[in-house]
Amino acid sequence: MDERVRELLRRIPSMEILLSEEWVAPFEKIIGRQAVKNIFSDIIGSLRKSLLEGTTISIDVDLIRRTARERIAKASARSLVPVVNATGVVIHTNLGRSCLCESALKAVLECASSYSTLEYDRSSGERGYRNDHVEWLLTQVTGADAALVVNNNAGAVILCLSALSSGKDAIVSRGELVEIGGSFRIPEIMSASGTRLVEVGTTNRTHLRDYEAAITETTAMLVKIHPSNFRIVGFHSEVPREDLAFLAREKGLIFLEDLGSGFLLDPGSFGLKGENSVRECIMAGVDLVTFSGDKMLGGPQAGIIAGRSQLIEKLKRHPLMRALRPDKMTLAALEATLRENLSGNAEAIPTIKMISADKNAILQKARRLCRYLRTRCPSFTFSTIPVQDAVGGGSYPEIPLEGYGVSVAHPGISAGELQEKLREGEIPVVAAVKEDALRIHVRTLKDGDFEKIRCALARIAAEREAKGNEAS
């Protein structure tokens, strides 16, 4: 080791010196002294390794302190925090999908802060079954004979395949072999469950005769997959589920449909055409329907399986069920959400309320926000504009929701920079940028969000003014 490297190594502050910094103590109270030491150690170790490997670097003690402080501050702050959804996307996958209704929030709080009847039968005083809390409710809102809840819809599909077609064939149209979200790919899910995938038809056209020709003695299931946010337009055809249901019954096969979002209500009543409710699928003869709890249902993350009781019983007994079962908070929120649906009070569910919001009511909301911000953030320019919102969550990608929003501009800040700064606040505001203008979509704003947006813009204006004063 040459003298230059030794000299640079001596310049790196020791752990004792760094830990004695005045700003360190408050962070130790939040994440503990050992965690703080680990962060310092990572920074020091990285510098030493680079020097010993011959990398040409300089040792800036102030930079080391700033880097350490930034990392420790980030580690000390909560990572999962509420945000203001100003994008107009109702079921925003990256922002936690559906917001829970008030009754669901109350139910979660009560069950999370107390012991509960999660697996306790009050009538017998013996062990109960957690699915009992929601199964009857699900049969009432879907029209199915029985129902089962797991931790998410991917789990629901895997459970059905593993329990009912492992080691056998499942027939799927090539036009439905989609990849959804974070690498949820139908062929890979089939493989993971031990099911042999049999592809039929072509990407754009599949006929009933294609399914019929593919059925053999090793066939266990016909599978129909919702395309989520993927659509084929133009020269295209698919087999109606009624025909597939008839074919499955005729051949003694199971007909499984992954409906994805899973609307419990009539989509047409919301102006959403081209989709079917879970009940419609059950009435069409589908044996098992899988769908999500935190999309169109407007509840917590869950995978729901509704269908024939004999098949549901097999799923309940499968070893995977224990690994996929939901927790008490999920079941509490789901039960409350289902009861809102069953009582005819679906608009108490934020997702339903936002999707069904009247266009004129949204316009008035945008105008109120515009007036609110104009009087409180004078350095910005605001205007009410028409926008296109979206259902989100892979639902109805071709049907935009007509809405209104507020355009925000500042003479010294670009739209992209303004969008970034809004994300960086204590309560992040996630907004859209289009045609070099920041847009706040009001459909997805909740009570109290006006003030949160004002605070975020006021912070940005104050930072801008402070920079200007420093420059002068």
Do 68 and 106 lie in one domain? The reply is no
Give the residue from 44, 76, 108 where a domain finishes.
76
C-beta atoms surrounding 327 within 10 Å: 13
Q: What is the DSSP letter of 301?
A: S
* pLDDT score for 203: 82
* pLDDT score for 182: 59
Can you give the length of the chain in residues?
A: 472
Assign 153 to helix, strand or coil: helix
Give the residue from 330, 348, 366 where a domain finishes.
348
Give the residue from 348, 373, 397 where a domain finishes.
348
The terminus-to-terminus CA distance of the chain in angstroms comes to 48
Do 313 and 410 lie in one domain? The reply is no
| Complete DSSP assignment for 390-406 | EEETTB-TT-PEEEEEE
Q: What distance lies between CA 287 and its chain's CA centroid?
A: 27
- Euclidean distance between CA atoms 171 and 166, whole angstroms: 13
* pLDDT score for 406: 98
Do 422 and 334 lie in one domain? The reply is no
Cβ atoms 91, 391 nearer than 8 A? yes
**What CATH number is attached to the domain comprising 152?**
3.40.640.10
* pLDDT score for 1: 64
* pLDDT score for 233: 66
CA 274, 275, 281, 283 torsion: positive or negative? negative
Which helix (H) or strand (E) segment holds residue 172: the answer is strand 169-173
Do 245 and 331 lie in one domain? The reply is yes
**What CATH number is attached to the domain comprising 407?**
3.90.1150.180
- Euclidean distance between CA atoms 226 and 181, whole angstroms: 13
Q: Strand 254-260 to strand 288-292: parallel, antiparallel, or no bridges (unpaired)?
A: parallel
Closest CA relative to residue 83, chosen from 423, 389, 404: 423
Instruction: Tell me the C-alpha to C-alpha distance, in Å, between residue 57 and each of 9, 48, 49, 308, 388.
Output: 11, 10, 11, 68, 51
Do 456 and 358 lie in one domain? The reply is yes
Range of the domain at 380: 84-91+354-471
Do 168 and 38 lie in one domain? The reply is no
Number of domains in the chain: 3
* pLDDT score for 176: 86
Do 164 and 222 lie in one domain? The reply is yes
- Euclidean distance between CA atoms 244 and 234, whole angstroms: 23
Do 315 and 361 lie in one domain? The reply is no
* pLDDT score for 230: 62
Do 281 and 183 lie in one domain? The reply is yes
Do 30 and 145 lie in one domain? The reply is no
Q: Strand 196-200 to strand 381-392: parallel, antiparallel, or no bridges (unpaired)?
A: unpaired
Rg of the chain over all Cα atoms, to the nearest angstrom: 28
Do 186 and 303 lie in one domain? The reply is yes
Instruction: Tell me the C-alpha to C-alpha distance, in Å, between residue 192 and each of 34, 154, 471.
Output: 41, 12, 60
Do 152 and 295 lie in one domain? The reply is yes
Strand order in the sheet with 254-260: 146-150, 303-307, 288-292, 254-260, 219-225, 169-173, 196-200
For each of the chain's 472 residues, which pLDDT tens digit applies?
Answer: 688 888 888 899 999 999 999 999 999 999 999 999 999 999 999 999 998 888 878 888 999 999 999 999 999 999 999 999 999 999 999 999 999 999 999 999 999 999 999 999 999 999 999 999 999 999 999 999 999 999 999 999 999 999 999 999 999 999 888 776 656 688 888 888 999 999 999 888 999 999 999 999 999 999 999 876 566 666 778 899 999 999 999 999 999 999 988 888 887 777 777 678 999 999 999 999 999 999 999 999 999 999 999 999 999 999 999 999 999 999 999 999 999 999 999 999 999 999 999 999 999 999 999 999 999 999 999 999 999 999 988 766 667 899 999 999 999 899 999 999 999 999 999 999 998 899 999 999 999 999 999 999 999 999 988 887 776 6
* pLDDT score for 457: 97
pTM of the model: 0.91
